[in-house]
Chains A and B, each alone.
Chain A
Amino acid sequence: MKRESRGDESVEGLGPELGKLWDSAPVPKAPPWFATRTLARIRREESRVGVWFGLPRWVFIGFGAAVLAVGWLRWEREPALGDEEVFAALDAMVEEERENRWWAGL
């Protein structure tokens, strides 16, 4: 239903002259394929939701969570090095030094 005040020369509208002019520039209508294309785009966007770089989002989230968990567990653990390991390493160093001297003819 058209409003009667539309062409009023009051604050309500553009006035008869301007109103007529304004109406002379038609408002474009949506092209016939608009609805079909819009539906296709919405479906496309929907299928893309939850996918990053072609893989489901939960794969990345799971991987990230696993890395954090492993890092946290390892951070908490004290580095354990027994006396036997230390002495074994020292023995190996002495042995290596002795071999080197032997090869050098000392």
Chain B
Amino acid sequence: MEHIELFFKSIFIDNMVFATFLGMCSYLAVSKKVSTAVGLGAAVIFVLAITVPLNWLLDQYLLQPGALSWLGEEYVDYDLSFLSFIMFIATIATMVQLVEIVVEKFSPSLYNSLGIFLPLIAVNCAILGGSLFMQSREIPTLSLSAVYGVGSGIGWFLAILAIAAIREKIRYSNVPPALRGLGITFIITGLMAIGFMSFGGMLTGGDEKAPKENKTAEVKLTVDKKEVLANNIKLNN
């Protein structure tokens, strides 16, 4: 349940493009055609799904305060978290390079569709942002971090697909000359972001706590009633 909740939350509510503006540069630069947008989106899902769990392991066993305790007693006091930026970005850059080599070797057709986008991705803020948010939101387990990576990748994919489709159609509309191209894309993205804000109430769980308290209160009440009943019975006897 926790996994499903995080999955939908990272796609819709904390959507990388619309809620946190991550990966905007490639989002604006590569969204002129739907086919290239799909290629880049798929590559982002792929790389996020690999790097977020990997960086979770690094964070947990190397970088957090006290994370080095598995090395022995004397390492408990070390806090290497100031190194996280450089570790994360190095992991991402090497992983992207590694994935590129492996994909080229084993699946030339996939390489042809994803290959040109992979080098772009090393400097995409969405990838580093995924790892940094994973760290700052303190995601507790490895499987949850994998779910978070895949979910935010899918959210990014949806966003770039939607804007690319709109930009293909908007060529036929009469946009004011000064707004053509970049300007109108910004404004459309803003409007889409307003739309995505309406997902905000989807998983708040705001109603969850109150009924629980009511339930315990009711249980107490029934207990009280039972006691009263028991007392009455005793009295009657």
Q: Do A and B bind each other?
A: no
Interface, chain A (partner B; CB < 8 A): none
Interface, chain B (partner A; CB < 8 A): none
